[in-house]
Structure 1
Amino acid sequence: MLLLGGAAPAAWADGGPVGGDLHVAQTLGDRELTVVVRRVDGAPAPVSVDVVGHVGTAAGELRLRVVPAGGRVFGETAVRVGGPGATSATLSVDRFGPWELELDDGVNTARIPFTVPERVTPAWERFTYGGFVAAGLFLLLALGFALRTGVGRGTVLAVAGLVVAVTVAVTAALLSSSVPVAAPPLDGSRPPVNMAVRAVDARAGAPVALAVDLTDASTGRPVDDLRVQHAAFVHLVLVSPSGVLTHVHPVRVRPGHYAATFTPGEGGRFGLSAELSRAGAGVQEVRATLDVAGDPAVSTVVPGVGPRQADGATVDVSSGPLVAGRAVTVAADFGGPSDLQPWLGMRGHLIIVGPLPPDAPVGAAAVAAPVWAHAHAMVPPTPGAVGGEPDETVAAYDPKVDFTFTFPQPGRYRLWFQAERGYRVITAPAVFDVPADPGGAP
């Protein structure tokens, strides 16, 4: 059995965006949660944490703890989760720099790095405010000299200082928009990541504990510099032999080691793909396989467009003309009112795998597929929003989600459209047969 947490030493990974809310999807045991660490302004200061549960989230208590880098637990509280919706808690921090938020359900522990930033005042701002403060002091001096001695040398010098101070302040303010912002350091030399996935006694119909080990391809050392991208450290997609897709988000246990739980609905070889991003580098995709004991299922997805049942909803899939090498818009209409919720920061997700042999088990074929794509339908920007992207409590988005994609090769592709409504993630499968360009393009 895989135990999460335990006595693993604290390690300080790069977390999410500094200065905004941090959204992190976490598959903690059999719970699929979204954890939102609200922006922290200053220190000491309170830290607001929202834990969002989804349909099917088991009821229970979670212990939340904040730990500074190299230190002991500074604050702890408990929240009760169960069913869909957000539960809020407040902790506190006493210093700037890296911290970790621990989520403990009594068996599994997730560790989420976050940063309490110390505000750095730019030079132009110091000159602007300093100039106006100095101008106020010189004005008082000028008035004092004028009242005591009239227009004398002291008054003239004070007025001259006032003029200089105002000039400095106004000049700095006017030039502030043209002062270039220092670009963050970029290290594009990070090597790729190797992934090994382990599971003990993986059987169909029973929860399977996955241990995901990530190592540096150059040194073999554990990788602990993952950044949050699209609201998760690791997006792990599992495709069953019949083409059923499961999308989980392993929790960070210790440096280079992540864990997740899923329940396979069938036996056979599953194809796995992990999407992640190292600090200073781009997004990487690594693949693996997992063998599950039990009988495989039969795919019931009919190729082509049209309505289909998915997770209790009717989803209508549509597409423009399909030709390899040409951009096409594909869409999934989840029906009903405009109440889709942002999941992983997006209105919708589309995962595409192919070309695949028509009669081969999908999971094993997916691992060797030349195309494994992950497209997104963005959330419209919110004017005046503070803290970053909207969370899952916002249910206000159009039920039709569309994507533009270019199928690079002809053949059969598997597609999965995903969106969230009522705190339930709906996954609608599709199969497209993409013909070659009659003009001779790929």
Structure 2
Amino acid sequence: MMKKIILVAAAVLALNVLAACGKTGDQNHAGGNNHAGHGASSGQPNDERPVGEKGAEEMDHGRGHGGHGSNAKPTAENLQASFAFPAGAAKANEETELTIQVKDKDGNPVNQYDVNHEKWLHLIMVNHDLSFFSHIHPEFKGDGTFTVNTSFPAGGEYKVFADFIPTGGANTTLSEWVKVEGEEGTHTAIVADANLVKEVDGKKIELSMSAAKPKEDVTLTFNIRDAKTKKGINDLQPYLGAVGHVVILSEDAKQYLHVHPIDEKATGPEAKFATSFPQSGTFKIWGQFQHNGEVFTVPFVVNVK
């Protein structure tokens, strides 16, 4: 009799346990459906995402920037550029090849660049008194090297600026003074223009500045008109993907600014550029525009104080 009682009690206990387990299972199943609904967009729970594969992809992407093995972003501080001529120095009024090589701080060539206004590298060249200005575009040859054929109008020192964006980095400018053999031209003092109106290639260009103080936002407005008819030119053509480009240098060529327009798709007669002068002093401004298939350059000298 006692054995029967024990067996009945055990059976009742087992039934209760099974019922409880059935209820718990239903709750988990409902919760499982909700969880699946939250993760439906990815097709798998968040904690099952292959983070290892994603991390490796990001690391490879970082290594590819700048064409070298460092994970650090390429900046002017960890990049260097050399400028060289085949004979060691250029000669005045003779065409020569200029080679620019960009390397990282470890000496590895930088081979990846972002297109910056249709070009990988903009080369700006000026002489010691800023009376000569050239804006050209070397061709990439690989191994961190660009080359371009150019010439210089007189002997003396010229400063060359390589302006580019290494992939993964910011806009970078590296520069150097180079020697050109031959008779030097007459040195002209850099003096601010009495009025900011110039005539170039049959066009009358007036420059107005919203301010002329250091470290303040300033808008440069170029008003471009036909020199004869005085009518505004409203059919400027894109130059390097924009209505125009502006390069600004301090008189000692230590401060360099390459300024792009506020409205790149503007067609004139006004072209506006936003910038800020880094310090007081005398600055030379070159505006470059294109009309009827011809690029024209207009220079201005201003005092910032």
Are residues 1:224 and 2:224 paired? Answer: no
Q: Cα 1:380–1:433, aligned 2, differ >3 Å: closer, same or farther?
A: closer
Please report the RMSD computed on the Cα atoms of aligned residues, expressed in angstroms.
2.6
Q: Which has the higher helix share?
A: 2
| Aligned-residue offset at 1:350 | 1.2
- Could you tell me whether the CA contact under 8 Å between 2:244 and 2:264 is conserved in 1? no
C-alpha change, 1:277 and 1:254, in structure 2 (3 Å) is same
Task: Indicate yes or no: 2:180 matched with 1:292.
Answer: yes
What does residue 351 of structure 1 align with?
247
**1:7-406 equivalent positions in 2, closer than 5 A:** 187=62, 189-191=72-74, 192-199=78-85, 200=87, 201-217=89-105, 219-243=106-130, 244-293=132-181, 294-299=183-188, 303-304=192-193, 305-311=195-201, 313-336=203-226, 337-354=233-250, 356=251, 365-366=252-253, 369=254, 371-379=255-263, 397-406=267-276
Which residue matches 1:155?
A: none
Q: Separation in 1 of the partners of 2:189 and 2:133? A: 13
Deviations 1:83-140 (A, max 9, x none): xxxxxxxxxxxxxxxxxxxxxxxxxxxxxxxxxxxxxxxxxxxxxxxxxxxxxxxxxx
Provide the C-alpha distance between the structure 2 equivalents of 1:261 and 1:251, rounded to a whole number of angstroms: 10
Is the 1:334–1:399 Cα contact (8 Å) retained in structure 2?
yes
SS of residue matched to 2:244: strand
Q: Does 1:411 align with 2:278?
A: no
Q: Secondary structure at the match of 1:377?
A: coil
Instruction: In structure 2, list runs of 5 or more residues that go unmatched.
Output: 1-39, 42-53, 63-70, 227-232
In 2, the alpha carbon distance for the partners of 1:312 and 1:401 equals 18
For residue 312 of structure 1, report the CA deviation from its aligned partner.
5.4
Q: 1:345 touches 1:379 (CA, 8 Å); kept in 2?
A: no
Corresponding residue number in structure 2 for 1:128: none
Give the letter for the 2:209 counterpart. Answer: S
The Cα of 1:376 is off from its aligned counterpart by 0.7
One-letter amino acid matched to 1:195: A
Q: Which has the higher contact order (CA 8 A, sep 6+)?
A: 1
Instruction: Report if the CA contact (8 A) 1:266-1:297 is conserved.
Output: no
Contact 2:196 2:300 in 1 (8 A): no
1:247–1:216: structure 2 CA closer, same or farther, 3 Å change rule? same
State the number of aligned residues: 228
TM-score by length of 1: 0.48
Amino acid at match of 1:409: Q
The residue type equivalent to 1:193 in the other structure is L
- Partner residue in 2 for 1:424: 294
Largest Rg, 1 or 2: 2
Distance 2:199 2:180 in 1: 26
Q: SS at 1:408's partner residue?
A: coil
Distance in structure 1 (CA, Å) of the matches to 2:168 and 2:215: 31
Query: TM-score, with normalisation over the residues of structure 2?
Result: 0.67
- The CA distance in 1 between the partners of 2:119 and 2:155, in whole Å, is 28
Residue 286 of structure 1 and its aligned partner are, at CA, apart by 0.7
Superposition deviation, residue 270 in structure 1: 0.6
- Say if 1:346 and 1:378, in contact at 8 Å, map to a contact too: no
Distance 1:399 1:204, change over 3 A: farther
Aligned residues with identical type, % of pairs: 24
Determine if contact 1:241/1:297 at 8 Å carries over to the other structure: no
Q: CA deviation at 1:310?
A: 3.3
Q: Distance in 2 between the 1:404 and 1:378 partners?
A: 6
Deviations 1:220-263 (A, max 9, x none): 12211122122111111001123121001110122211101222
In 2: Cα distance, 1:260 partner to 1:301 partner: 29
CA distance in 2, matches of 1:380, 1:321: 22
Please state whether the residue corresponding to 1:303 is helix, strand or coil: coil
Does the Cα contact within 8 Å between 2:242 and 2:264 map onto a contact in 1?
no
Q: Spell out, residue by residue over 1:243-294, the C-alpha distance to the aligned partner (whole angstroms, 9 max, x if none).
A: 1210011101222111012221222111111111122222211111211123
Partner Cα separation in structure 2 for residue 332 and residue 286 of structure 1? 28
CA apart distance, 1:306: 2.3
| Structure 1 residues 345 and 189: CA distance shift in structure 2, 3 A | same
| Aligned partner of residue 347 in structure 1, secondary structure | coil
Matched residue type, 1:428: V
Residues 312 and 241 of structure 1: is their aligned pair in 2 closer, same or farther, counting only changes over 3 Å?
farther
Q: Tell whether the 8 Å contact from 1:241 to 1:296 is kept in structure 2 after alignment.
A: no
